[in-house]
Amino acid sequence: MSQDSVKKEIGQFYDQIGWQLEGDGIYQNARYEDLRPVSSEYIHRCHMRVKRHLAPTGDFLLDAGSGPVQYDEYLTYSENYRYRVCMDLSVVALQEARKRLGDKGIYINADIANLPFKDDTFDGIVSLHTIHHVPIEEKVGVYKGLQRVLKPGRSMVTVDGWAEVPLGKAMGFFMRLANRLRRWTGKEAPKMPPDVQSNEQNGEAAKLPAGTFVLKTSAKWFHSVMKDQLPYEIRVWRSVSVKFLRSVIQPEWGGRLWLKILYRLEEWFPHYFGEKGQYPLIIIKK
């Protein structure tokens, strides 16, 4: 399948499925997140890691692959900027983003691999769970293109998932242990979306609906192709998968406490958990 066909199908998927509101008032895409109260503080604090690496104020923040800017934490990234430039392949995503941002947003239907902006335009850039949709041959160019439109002295943040997760074996152990505890106590296993496969804890990409092309890489791959291209730093956004959270982190098992401990470990060792865990936060400066 050609690159243009892949991108067309991705846009159509998010227009028709991913950014449609479901009966509970959340977007279909949100089912890939853990929105339970027991995980809410941890999820919030992980989302807020992005903001600490952006300039606090500026004229324009580019949100490359913005979606509908679906979480409240996402809105805070641009709260002290004049405008948030929302760019996405999905027209529905931009329509939904406008509902949240109104006149403080600028909305552009465009491809992250072909940015329609001049050099040195943005005071900050975020790209969240978007570059994993880019074909392998375009990934390096995407990072370089984003840095091109970033102003000197500023930084950009990207978040995606690794396909190879060294901590996946540890996650798998705790998930098996949780399943044994359920058998002993008779507790029902947590419900998972039918298209999220059991191999997620091993770091493999989840099976997604047709049209959502995903190609995740690894820390090793990233270092091999980017070490001489751009100044970057890999830190942790979140070290564990959604399947791990829904399986292991339960209120009656002290879930909130265990997530507080995990978050503290991630803060103490951000580079280790960024490279070995599920979701890296990559900071690129100019």
Domains defined for the chain, CATH in brackets: 3-173+191-285 (3.40.50.150)
pLDDT of residue 196: 46
pLDDT of residue 182: 80
**What length is written for the chain?**
286
C-alpha distance across the termini of the chain, in Å: 35
pLDDT digits (tens, 9 = 90+) for 77-86: 999 999 999 9
CA atoms within 13 A on the CB side of 38: 16
Alpha helices in the chain (DSSP H): 3-13, 37-47, 72-76, 91-101, 136-148, 168-185, 219-226, 242-248, 255-268, 270-276
DSSP code of residue 16? I
Low-confidence ranges of the chain (pLDDT < 70): 1-31, 186-212
pLDDT digits (tens, 9 = 90+) for 156-186: 999 999 999 999 999 999 999 988 888 777 6
